[in-house]
């Protein structure tokens, strides 16, 4: 059985769990990281020497880094659907995954860590506003992309949508400044109708507030 190591409130774990649920894969998720600890044990470090989540064990195949895991699972269990079979289309999906985990994630995680997770007395508001503006810039790119198609990858969801789509719940539920993003909001509403997305991405995160 597929084993996924990582806590449910981790954005990177949520990306993996969302796809696992969409694919209907039998699995076991094991709480590691955050309040559960366990990242520095010899057993965990033998799987991932970086000591980070998520990690999967798929019948002895160990993979770490969330995007690598998503690519692996999509290619193995959904080639031609979640993983495009055509090399050009797969590259298009790949580029959105890389962009979302770099440019978009930098803004979202910056706000989440420096605003939501940081105690009010310790907040650097100049940094928070900079991160908010980074979000504005990057979500505007998504807004333009979604003007003419329902998903980043075209008419249907692929692995290329997962990293960006995985940020939307927190972005739209945090008490921060946001621009008007009708296409992105409509995308979020469509995603929220998917049971797998609701269960594994729309996960309450109040336990992480003011922990830094």
pLDDT value at 210 more than 90: no
Average the pLDDT over 23-45 and give the result: 97
Residue 83 CA to residue 72 CA, distance in Å, equals 9
pLDDT tens-digit series, residues 118-177? 999 999 999 999 999 999 999 999 999 999 999 998 889 999 999 999 999 999 999 988
- How are beta strands 61-64 and 55-58 bridged, if at all? antiparallel
Asked whether residue 180 carries a pLDDT value surpassing 90, the answer given is: yes
CA dihedral angle for residue 113, residue 116, residue 117, residue 121, rounded to 10 degrees: 110
Q: Which residues contact 4 (CB under 8 A, 6 or more apart)?
A: 13, 16, 17, 20, 27, 28, 29, 30, 54, 55, 56
d(CA 103, CA 136): 11
**Per-residue confidence band for 211, with pLDDT thresholds at 50, 70 and 90:** confident
Alpha-carbon gap, residue 197 to 47, rounded angstroms: 27
Strands 27-30, 2-5: parallel, antiparallel or unpaired by DSSP?
parallel
Radius of gyration of the chain (CA): 17
pLDDT digits (tens, 9 = 90+) for 99-110: 999 999 999 999
Mean pLDDT (the chain) is: 96
Quick check: helix, strand or coil at residue 167? coil
Banded model confidence at residue 17, pLDDT cuts 50, 70, 90: very high
Domains of the chain: 2-77 (3.40.30.10), 87-197 (1.20.1050.10)
Residue 61 has pLDDT above 90, yes or no: yes
């Amino acid at each position: 059985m597929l084993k996924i190591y990582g806590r449910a409130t981790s954005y990177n774990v949520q990306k993996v769990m969302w796809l696992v649920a969409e694919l209907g894969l039998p699995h076991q998720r094991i709480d590691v990281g955050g309040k559960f600890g366990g990242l520095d044990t010899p057993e965990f470090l033998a799987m991932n020497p970086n000591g980070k989540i998520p990690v999967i064990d798929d019948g002895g195949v160990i993979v770490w880094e969330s995007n690598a895991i998503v690519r692996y699972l999509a290619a193995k269990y959904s080639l031609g659907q979640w993983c495009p079979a055509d090399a050009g289309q797969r590259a298009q999906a790949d580029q959105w995954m890389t962009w979302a985990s770099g440019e978009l994630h930098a803004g979202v995680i910056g706000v989440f860590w420096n605003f939501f997770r940081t105690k009010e007395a310790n907040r650097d508001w100049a940094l928070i506003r900079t991160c908010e503006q980074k979000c504005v810039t990057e979500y505007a790119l998504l807004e333009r992309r979604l003007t003419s198609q329902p998903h980043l990858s075209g008419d249907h969801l692929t692995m290329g949508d997962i990293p960006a789509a995985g940020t939307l719940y927190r972005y739209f539920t945090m008490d921060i400044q946001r621009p008007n993003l009708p296409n992105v909001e409509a995308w979020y509403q469509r995603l929220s109708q998917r049971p797998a997305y609701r269960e594994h991405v729309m996960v309450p995160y109040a336990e992480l507030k003011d922990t830094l």
